[in-house]
Chain A
């Protein structure tokens, strides 16, 4: 080819190319309404393509061909929706809208077919409560939730009397997690132990606060309990310094609570523990040294601990959430009635650098509560420590010990409290509320954690700091948490919340309760000037109604305390069951705000219900992932 011919050909090619570009530029396709980035198997979504430059519409297609779902209709005009139905199988799908006018003009979007809004992975869980045979039980475990919602895992169950998992734990052979877009759903665990749940299958109602944390209750009628479900980081190398607390029932059948601090060096644990056990010669028993040996965790994050302290428990299993957070459960392998064993469950949290003093205890909100094995009570309050070498504090708190306590008064609302406290260098501390300020609640063991750790949501990078709490008063053994108070602005108690409560009903009332027993609740609500929402109450012994699990709704006014910033009345908090014969439970409650994201609440004894609940309100974050990203190809 000579130069002249070359240039002629080049010019002709350029004209052709530009002509083509000019033609395509008149037709564009964009996906103006995209589907979610994640869709459940067999889920549906409306998708809209907008076409310009032609009156013709688009044809819908997807890959991988044959297993990517379907469209109805398969062709749409510009601006008209098609309904996409996802396939039954999980996996990535590319959805494409192709111009009917010009096949080379397309727009596409990626969708992942996955159950539960993409919530999957390894999760650890724990609960404590009362079974239908009136045994306090402890349960902790871990599950691997697959993208399709199926799961497998391990757990340790122990009621100290009739049922306990073997030394290796129960296998969770199958099950499912199924949640909706609000984060509310069901966790079903099929185990190898026919003594737990309903013939070996346990069912929990879950309410996700965010993608890595949910409040849970067991709600299958075999028992009722409250706890947490948290995403695990596996494997994790555990930190060195921990604070811990456990609540349960001892070998003599009485409530026992323990708490303290320990140091982990290799596989050796050395620690200090406080014990509240009314069968002990000295109660409470403080600053007891103990040692223990830790066996490394398996692939589910389950390991074991053997201690030399019977009050803590001779053998425990632990479940790793992350380097600075583990769940603990006392085990009783080989338990055979009529023998008894201790049962307890709790947590240990890292302490970071592990250097503390009285200045480490900041303004805080606390929750302190019994289990049903003790004398029911709950206390919630806020404190302002002085941060001095001789520690003292002031504050305000509510307590409810129920009418069955025989105390008069048996509850206090917004009581002024004061007292002293001390925190040692290892985070071991005590907080003494002046006797009489808060009825029986006076002597609290406080075990400080890493200020970066959120005790209630260990994967949350905000809301950290505080302590685990053990109530060391012989009259009211209990356990709880103390969280740094960073925001008392009433306007920040707003948005969507996940609510949990554990309610102990002490005597027959009129009209409620029908019996003494325990019920647990988890639900969702929107907080504005009222708390409006719904949830599930687990009531295995029909304490409140004839159903073992009820869907309930409520709309309760929220009234900020004009005198005590950070305190709210949520009253009347009337919870009404669904169904043909609704039952109204006329609770009243008061709440204390650590921040807009975390509040603790308790039942106000003024409601006269012969019951007391304690629990949490956690502000709900993002559930699932953002909508799919769109890609246009001119």
Chain B
């Protein structure tokens, strides 16, 4: 399989272990390589909020159609692969995210295909807050439509 962002693995691992130390609450989930068969796909109790700079966003086609749904985030603790949804950056209800932009992302670190990724549920960018996933991690279509003015975050930040 073609790997996303080759070369970032070490940074992602560094970020993961750093986050694990800072947030032991989700470390157990993130460290698990095999989940129980009936585990929740998205465990909202393990959520943390990251402040980050957008290092890169996936390329967009001229027709604004579906592309890869990962965004690379630079945090104080290292680089994180942020998993968006197919709808977050594509389609008529897409969210505008630019390289170099400051964002806050609330989500859960987990393992997907042997990679550590940060599954994002809520994204704060450009002064607006977008919920892109439900509490069980289901994706939201045309999420920009539901954006709200950002409010100061309360606790749980890294």
Contact = CB atoms under 8 A, between A and B. Distances in A.
Nearest to A374: B138
Interface residues of B, number: 42
Contacts of A510: 1-2
Contacts of B143: 253
B4 A278 contact: no
B99 to A, nearest CB: 20
Contacts of A279: 134
A131 B113 CA distance: 28
Contact of B86 (A162, A517, A542): A517
Contact of A254 (B36, B67, B138, B145): B138
Contacts of B68: 507-508, 515-516
Q: In this complex, which of A439, A440, A508, A542 has the most chain B Cβ atoms within 10 angstroms of its Cβ?
A: A508
B1 A608 contact: yes
Given A249-B141, A439-B37, A515-B67, A161 B134 contact: no
A474 B43 CA distance: 12
B140 interface: yes
Main secondary structure of the interface of B (DSSP, over half): loop
B106 interface: no
Given A254-B134, A278-B134, A541-B65, A475 B41 contact: yes
Given A403-B113, A516-B86, A338 B41 contact: no
Contacts of B36: 436
A161 B91 CA distance: 11
B1 A543 contact: no
Given A134-B141, A253-B141, A475-B136, A408 B35 contact: yes
Contact of B37 (A404, A409, A543, A608): A409
A33 interface: no
Nearest to A399: B37
A contact face: mostly helix, strand, loop, or mixed: loop
Nearest to B143: A253
Nearest to B67: A515
A405 B66 CA distance: 18
Contacts of B65: 132-134, 515, 517, 541-542
A507 B86 CA distance: 9
B15 to A, nearest CB: 18
Nearest to B91: A134
Contact of A440 (B41, B69, B134): B41
Contacts of B111: 406, 408
A543 B65 CA distance: 10
A517 B35 contact: no
A407 B41 contact: yes
Interface string B19-47: 00000000000000111111111000000
B140 A509 contact: no
- Residue of A249, A252, A507 contacting most chain B CB atoms (<10 Å): A507
B112 A161 contact: no
A477 B138 contact: yes
A373 B142 CA distance: 10
A407 B91 CA distance: 28
Of B2, B142, B143, most A-chain CB atoms within 10 Å: B142
Interface string A239-269: 0000000000100111100000000000000
Interface string A364-383: 00000000111100000000
B150 to A, nearest CB: 18
A278 B138 contact: yes
B58 to A, nearest CB: 9
A340 interface: yes
A442 interface: yes
A28 B74 CA distance: 93
A136 interface: yes
A516 B66 contact: yes
Most central of B68, B86, B87, B141 by chain A CB within 10 Å:
B141
A595 interface: no
Contacts of A439: 37-38
A445 B92 CA distance: 34
B41 A375 contact: yes
A608 B113 CA distance: 11
Given A255-B138, A510-B1, A161 B37 contact: no
A435 interface: yes
B113 A541 contact: no
Contacts of B9: none
Given A435-B38, A516-B69, 12 more contacts: A134-B87, A134-B91, A135-B92, A161-B92, A252-B146, A405-B41, A408-B33, A439-B38, A474-B136, A477-B138, A516-B86, A541-B65
- Top-10 shortest CB links A-B: A134-B91, A510-B2, A278-B134, A253-B140, A436-B38, A541-B65, A253-B141, A436-B37, A516-B86, A517-B66
Interface of B: 1-2, 4, 33-41, 63-69, 86-87, 90-93, 110-113, 119, 134-143, 145-146
11 contacts: A135-B92, A161-B93, A252-B140, A253-B142, A253-B143, A254-B134, A338-B145, A372-B86, A375-B137, A406-B35, A507-B69
